[in-house]
């Protein structure tokens, strides 16, 4: 039996088959609900309110994630509730995985313009009965004589539309050549574009570039649709192992086609794409096996750079175009970190530089005396608002900054909207402010204070009361939430200290700290230092570079030299498996303490 589900305030109506959960129905319709666990009922993030109709009884997992007030309010977990009739449900803003504040831009490094795709304008002699030269041989001969090229090979789709372009454009046509292959032919005055993609775990950032001038044309971002299968990498690996690999791959290619279609009216103008992402995102995008990434020793199927025909990946750009995928370093340090090291100039710095890309998996590198050592920290999604009771992504209504004063709590809210939750930078600020005001001790235990109270799950700090919030409910940070931040902070600091130990230096010898990524762009470095997540160095030693992975992908798009640099970085970086490093457990335990 089929049931209709109306999703409000989206105004979307979906038909679900018998036995399908509300979460699965939403995912099938392209509605991305927050779900760190991938719809397994353990994270409690996919909350919806049933407005009309009948659903299955509360499951044990719902009872574990929803308190009495939530249940009385009609809240359910979409991944557990199944429709028993036609339904109307309300999706709270905090449950939506879309509409988040996306970091697209980074600090650019100058690059000489030397793309892999070279363009030539060819003036072809008109065929005649006296000179009936075939179109391709006519083109090839003109390139050999006019441009001094060796004989080149044509892509099949190019041959299919060459006669039409030749006869509709007149004698002057443009031809794009890549590594001795003609990949596209077009009217000479048509734009020639390239796309650089940062395929992140939580977001996708796309940069469109003019390959003739190197100038940016447009930048756009979107939530990675794979969040519907799990917020973190391991959940998506599990989903792929359970048979969802094709859906994971297609969801990304469909989103890329959609983004690019919004950026240009003619996708055929895009003749080259570069892509950087962590190793799991890279493998899922290519449809490579990921089982081995989720099991020790976490070995990738491939680490070297790849050139894959775009049409083989389901991308609707120029038929002969290629996608260049930057090289990975290891199972949990991917090409996005390679791109960051390249874009931030860490690879060529002679100084002692710490590079940190903070996320669900935080990559840390230490460059010293021309050598780079890297590792990955399982910092978890708490710093992105997940696993936090009132945590959310950086979207309208998210508290992004917090300051505790003698008059109360001062909040900075995205879009100046009434607060509906708190995102990563606000969470970090709150923990730092609690410690700075001695409302919390070194072990992160809350002390007595007018804004500290006893909640359903222990002590909690009141950030915004119900009257001031956009949900009509108090927004708090609980003792359990603080513990999640403590774990994330400890994982990152353990990674930093391990690299310092490997190099035999102290934190005072660090000459620069480069912080990359969306979360790293918005945090207050002082808050991160205050809780001991980052070394206690002067603020002028820190550099926040934004979406450096996207910049690195753009450098690779515009310069063959930088593709070589990326490959050199990936091959030369020494990778450490943090969990197997001597003293890891002791260092992690020490790092749990706050300064």
- Give the span between the Cα atoms of 561 and 113, in whole angstroms: 10
Q: Please name the residue that has the structure tokens 């309208």.
A: 396
Q: Please name the residue that has the structure tokens 């990563």.
A: 424
pLDDT for 325: 98
The percentage of residues in the chain with a pLDDT greater than 70, rounded to a whole number, is 95
For residue 283, pLDDT over 50 is answered with yes
- Judged by average pLDDT, the poorest of 90-99, 112-121, 200-209 is 90-99
Structure tokens, 22:
């509300």
Yes or no: say if 272 and 321 are a contact pair by the CB < 8 Å rule.
yes
Mean of all residue pLDDT scores within the chain: 89
Q: What is the DSSP letter of 407?
A: T
Q: In which order are the strands placed within the sheet that holds 270-277?
A: 216-223, 203-210, 193-199, 270-277, 322-325, 306-309
pLDDT for 515: 93
Let me know if domain 335-378+506-591 sits in CATH 3.30.420: yes
Yes or no: say if 473 and 387 are a contact pair by the CB < 8 Å rule.
no
**Residue pLDDT, tens place only, 169-205:** 766 899 999 999 999 999 988 999 999 999 988 789 9
For residue 119, pLDDT over 60 is answered with yes
Q: What is the DSSP letter of 297?
A: T
For residue 105, pLDDT over 60 is answered with no
pLDDT for 45: 86
Yes or no: say if 212 and 219 are a contact pair by the CB < 8 Å rule.
no
**Residue pLDDT, tens place only, 224-258:** 888 878 778 888 999 999 999 999 999 999 999 99
For residue 134, pLDDT over 60 is answered with yes
Sequence-distant (6+) residues with CB within 8 A of 195 are 206, 207, 208, 209, 260, 270, 272, 273, 274, 317, 557
**Residue pLDDT, tens place only, 522-533:** 788 999 999 999
Please state, as a whole number, how many other Cβ atoms lie within 10 Å of the Cβ of residue 584.
Answer: 15
- Give the span between the Cα atoms of 128 and 81, in whole angstroms: 72
Does the bond joining 473 to the residue before it have cis omega, within 30 degrees of 0? no
DSSP 328-344: P-BTTB-HHHHHHHHHT
Better pLDDT: 476 or 51:
476
Among 66, 87, 88, 64, CA closest to 75: 66
Tell the CATH superfamily of the 193-325 domain: Domain of unknown function (DUF4445) (3.30.420.480)
Among 202, 247, 251, 236, CA closest to 517: 202
Better pLDDT: 211 or 381:
211
Instruction: State the pTM of this model.
Output: 0.81
**Residue pLDDT, tens place only, 549-592:** 999 999 999 999 999 999 999 999 999 988 888 888 999 999 99
Sequence-distant (6+) residues with CB within 8 A of 180 are 150, 152, 153
Beta-sheet pairing, 117-123 with 153-154: unpaired
For residue 99, pLDDT over 60 is answered with no
Cα atoms in the 13 Å half-sphere on the side-chain side of 513? 25
For residue 344, pLDDT over 50 is answered with yes
Domain 3-95 identical in fold to domain 117-187:
yes
- Give the span between the Cα atoms of 586 and 595, in whole angstroms: 17
The Cα-based distances of 257 to 101, 196, 265, 266 in angstroms read: 21, 13, 12, 11
Yes or no: say if 499 and 373 are a contact pair by the CB < 8 Å rule.
yes
Q: In which order are the strands placed within the sheet that holds 475-478?
A: 452-455, 458-464, 475-478
Tell the CATH superfamily of the 3-95 domain: Beta-grasp domain (3.10.20.30)
Better pLDDT: 69 or 205:
205
Exposed/middle/buried for residue 472 (C-beta within 10 Å: 0-12, 13-18, 19+): exposed
pLDDT for 167: 85
Among 247, 271, 252, 261, CA closest to 204: 252
Domain boundaries, the chain: 3-95, 117-187, 193-325, 335-378+506-591, 382-485
**Residue pLDDT, tens place only, 495-523:** 999 999 999 999 999 999 999 987 777 78
Please give the CATH number for the structural domain made up of 117-187: 3.10.20.880
């Amino acid at each position: 039996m089929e049931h209709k589900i109306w999703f409000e305030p989206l105004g979307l109506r979906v038909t679900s088959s018998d036995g399908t959960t509300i979460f699965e129905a939403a995912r099938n319709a392209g509605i991305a609900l927050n779900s760190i666990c991938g719809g397994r009922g353990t994270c409690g993030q996919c909350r919806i309110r049933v407005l009309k109709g009948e659903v299955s009884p509360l499951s044990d997992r719902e009872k574990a994630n929803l308190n009495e007030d939530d249940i009385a309010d009609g809240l359910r977990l979409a991944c557990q509730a199944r429709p028993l009739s036609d339904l109307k449900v309300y999706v709270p803003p905090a449950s939506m995985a879309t509409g988040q504040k996306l970091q697209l831009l980074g600090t650019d490094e100058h690059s000489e313009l030397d793309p892999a795709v070279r363009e030539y304008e060819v003036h072809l002699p008109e065929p005649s009965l006296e000179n009936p030269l075939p179109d391709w041989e006519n083109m090839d001969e003109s390139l050999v004589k006019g441009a001094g090229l060796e004989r080149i090979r044509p892509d099949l789709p190019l041959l299919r539309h060459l006669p039409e372009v030749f006869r509709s454009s007149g004698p002057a046509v443009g031809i794009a050549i890549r590594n001795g292959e003609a990949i596209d032919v077009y009217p000479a005055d048509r734009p020639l574009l390239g796309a650089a993609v940062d395929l992140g775990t939580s977001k996708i950032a796309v940069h469109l570039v003019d390959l003739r001038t190197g100038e940016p044309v447009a930048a756009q971002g979107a939530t990675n649709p794979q969040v519907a299968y799990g917020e973190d990498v391991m959940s998506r690996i599990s989903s792929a192992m359970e048979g969802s690999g094709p859906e994971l791959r297609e969801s990304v290619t469909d989103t890329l086609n959609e983004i690019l279609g919004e950026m240009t009216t003619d996708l055929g103008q895009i003749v080259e794409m570069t892509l950087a992402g962590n190793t799991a995102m890279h493998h899922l995008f290519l449809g490579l096996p990921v089982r081995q990434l989720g099991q020790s020793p976490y070995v990738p199927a491939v680490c070297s750079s790849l050139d894959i025909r775009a049409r083989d990946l389901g991308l609707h750009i120029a038929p002969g175009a290629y996608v260049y995928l930057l090289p990975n370093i290891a199972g949990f340090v991917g090409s996005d970190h390679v791109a960051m090291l390249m874009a931030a100039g860490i690879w060529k710095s002679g100084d002692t530089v710490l590079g940190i890309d903070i996320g669900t998996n935080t990559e840390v590198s230490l460059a010293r005396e021309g050598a780079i050592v890297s590792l990955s920290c399982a910092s978890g999604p708490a710093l992105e608002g997940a696993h936090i009771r009132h945590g959310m992504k950086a979207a309208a209504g998210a508290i992004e900054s917090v300051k505790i004063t003698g008059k109360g709590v001062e909040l900075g809210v995205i879009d100046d909207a009434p607060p509906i939750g708190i995102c990563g930078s606000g969470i970090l600020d709150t923990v730092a402010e609690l410690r700075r005001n001695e409302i919390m001790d070194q072990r992160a235990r809350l002390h007595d204070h007018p804004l500290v109270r006893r909640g359903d799950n222990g002590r909690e700090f009141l950030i915004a009361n119900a009257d001031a919030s956009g949900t009509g409910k108090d927004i708090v940070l609980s003792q359990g939430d603080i513990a999640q931040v403590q774990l994330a902070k400890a994982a990152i600091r353990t990674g930093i200290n391990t690299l310092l130990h490997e190099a035999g230096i102290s934190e005072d010898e660090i000459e620069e700290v480069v912080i990359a990524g969306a979360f790293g762009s918005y945090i207050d470095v002082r808050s991160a230092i205050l809780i001991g997540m980052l070394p206690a160095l002067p603020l002028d030693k820190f550099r926040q570079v934004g979406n450096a992975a996207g910049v690195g992908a753009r450098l690779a798009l515009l310069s063959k030299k930088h593709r070589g640099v990326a490959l050199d970085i990936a091959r030369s970086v020494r990778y450490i498996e943090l969990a197997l490093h001597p003293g890891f457990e002791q260092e992690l335990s020490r790092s749990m303490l706050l300064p």
